[in-house]
Structure 1
């Protein structure tokens, strides 16, 4: 392991001009994954892990629709958070023992979990006491999740390092001597962060957690490492890992990126169905819904206050829109979703020329934490999923009416 930078650069998102014409003819809404970008993300994550001395895990919760582009990547180890994800991992990565973090395990789930994981993190000392001895007897390397109380997230809803967060045991509340069945510590407080924030977490662990690091065999530094983003500075990552290894050379290190595997690898393609101008506010109604399909971009989340990146459009802040002259407003639009929710809009986006019904809007970098939060609100089908390959576009997933019917219709009818 070395501290020196690998000099690996993240590739920029594919320009719209390079997207094959097929993208303009597929039925919308559609979430399109770029197979080449998925592979380059995986190569970068694995290369950085090998260089600096940590094992990267694939956090399945970041995207299910995009997994088709990763199943052939050698050496991937899934990280799962539920029985459903465990079963999915076993289907997609047969024979691979998963890493698991379950917020709370039911007794009825234990036998299946024990068969499918090689490493398992418990969220509380109570759960660790209940299942830890059985995990050790089954050859599972168990860990306890801890909260170092380091706050690095930019949004309170995603701040797993906050005091009182339900995730993890504060270091001060750990027993001085960890139970024999605990082989690791698990820390996850990052959320789409840089290596500089990781360095803050490691510094706190070295300062306050050394007593427990000396007792365990491995340290899982969780997810939120945006390794594949353009401009990611790996130097603080290398320095932090070097410092950890110097102090505790026996530790095996794990990272569990989520968004990084899919960063800039997915685009959401939508079609303008109508254009309305209530009180002079031009609004393009698209065939997708923020409320049903892109809820993270709407309310109560890290992304709620962030603009979308729409190919060929420039974001205009509401304050700037209010001062905009009429001529520019003719090609500046609020984007309206297809549901009946009043809040189903995003504001404002300026285009080079006025939009027309039938135009395609391509929302960039939508491959992570989008498909995994879909709903059938208002009976609107979620976007289909496609994979863009050298040979063309492959349909990965559709959501027919039967899926909606099965999910909502009472079994008595």
Structure 2
């Protein structure tokens, strides 16, 4: 089956895109000796875990179910972090995971004997109180009053010498879609506050949020950061990227079902921001769309480029991705919206070279990450099919969804 034969809506993950990202991550591993884990919270399409496992060291989980998935489907190193753990789940977590990271001194005290008896490695997440994000407090673990990680003050107040001695590593996660200069700044804060304890550890985990596979990312600085920590403290270094594994490696294909007009033309799609790409509303952000422009940028005099697809498959705009067509060549403006009852189920405003019509297929770009893992069935919306596009262009339908999937959750 080819992409143009797929029914909509569907997520299409490109094997070629994944492999490209994985080659970059493998090179970082080989050059520095660090260990890299897939953060499943961003991307849990286990159909491709065998491929990912050829390049990475394992998986990391945010809870029991992700831990089970990584254990069953990749079967390599398996780490877990959660702000708190249920007592009844801990025996199974200890069976599944080799590294258990706690969020607070209280959790360390509660579970340290179980962890040690199970022969597992134990860590504590720290908060270096070094915010490198602006305007996205919802994604900033170092924002004021953050519940994530232990500050130095609480560490020294609540961790006894016995507790510290029980730790094998320290974990921090402060970044979100950021470059290595922010990592370097964070590391300086980590060393300043926790350096005297790092000398006693076996490993340090840099967490996620590293946009390593994004064009322009400073990989050289990342490597220097890793080597510095290994050489200064004699520790194993872990990274837990999620987005970087599947960045720009997938699309959400949708169809125009209806076009209405109320002060502007509004195209109603069979894909929903609220149900199928909730980060569009949560962040919020405007996803790139193949062969479309941004009316706001065009009206301001920019090129209005709204994204492209390296796949080269057909969609509105007839063919290859637009790489900067002048705004006057995309004079048709539409608001793209979902079919749910939510008035705010709006994806964004886009401009096109040709008028849209019912039945047109659109391709939203960079839709492999934080999409499939966050979809929902509000209004009884059907979940998009999950498809793997192989490097030869053929497509494998990995998963389809129907009424029973909606009903089974209620």
Asked if TM exceeds 0.5, the reply is yes
1:346 positional shift: 2.7
Equivalent of 1:160 in 123, 132, 141? 141
Cα drift, residue 216 of structure 1: 1.1
CA separation in 1, counterparts of 2:49 and 2:409?
28
State yes or no: 1:369 paired with 2:370: yes
- SS at 2:138's partner residue? helix
Structure 1 residue matching 2:115: 3-state secondary structure: helix
Q: How many residues get paired?
A: 375
**Contact 1:206/1:244 (CA < 8 Å) preserved in 2?**
no
TM, length-normalised to structure 2: 0.87
TM-score if structure 1 supplies the norm length?
A: 0.87
Q: Extract unaligned runs of 5+ from structure 2.
A: 301-327
Q: Measure how far apart 1:237 and its partner are.
A: 1.1
Residue 11 of structure 1 is matched in structure 2 by: none
Give runs of aligned pairs for residues 61-80 of structure 1, distance below 5 A.
Answer: 61-65=41-45, 67-72=46-51, 73-74=53-54, 75-80=56-61
1:287 pairs, out of 263, 270, 274, with 270
Inter-partner Cα distance in structure 2 for 1:347 and 1:403? 28
Which string of whole-angstrom CA distances, capped at 9 and with x for unpartnered residues, describes residues 7-32 of structure 1?
xxxxxxxxxxxxxx922221000000
Aligned: 1:182 with 2:171: no
Tell me, what secondary structure is at the counterpart of 2:95?
helix
Deviation at 1:198, TM superposition (A): 0.5
Q: Does residue 1:172 correspond to 2:153, yes or no?
A: yes
> 1:242-321, aligned counterparts within 5 Å?
242-248=227-233, 250-279=234-263, 281-299=264-282, 301=283, 304=284, 306-317=285-296, 320=299
* Structure 2 Cα separation of the partners of residues 135 and 401 of structure 1: 42
CA distance in 1, matches of 2:193, 2:106: 23
Checking the alignment, whether the CA contact within 8 Å between 1:78 and 1:99 is kept in structure 2 is yes
Cα offsets for 1:170-202 (capped at 9, x unmatched) = 022213745322110000001111111100111
- Distance (Å, rounded) in 1 between the aligned partners of 2:72 and 2:93: 14
Q: Is the Cα contact below 8 Å between 1:195 and 1:225 reproduced in 2?
A: yes
**Who is 1:8 aligned against?**
none
1:82/1:102 contact within 8 Å kept: yes
Q: Alignment partner of 2:245: what SS?
A: helix
Is 1:224 matched up with 2:209?
yes
Kindly state the Cα deviation for residue 68 of structure 1 after the two structures are TM-superposed.
1.8
Q: 1:377-388 residue pairs with structure 2 within 5 A?
A: 377-388=378-389
Q: Secondary structure at the residue paired with 2:164?
A: coil
Partner residue in 1 for 2:409: 407
Aligned residue for 1:344? 345
Structure 1 position 333, deviation (Å): 0.6
User: What secondary structure sits across from 1:254 in the alignment?
Assistant: strand
- Report if aligned partners of 1:152, 1:190 keep a CA contact under 8 Å in 2: yes
Once residues 163 and 219 of structure 1 are traced to their aligned partners in structure 2, the CA distance between those partners, rounded to angstroms, is: 24
Distance 1:209 1:390 in 2: 46
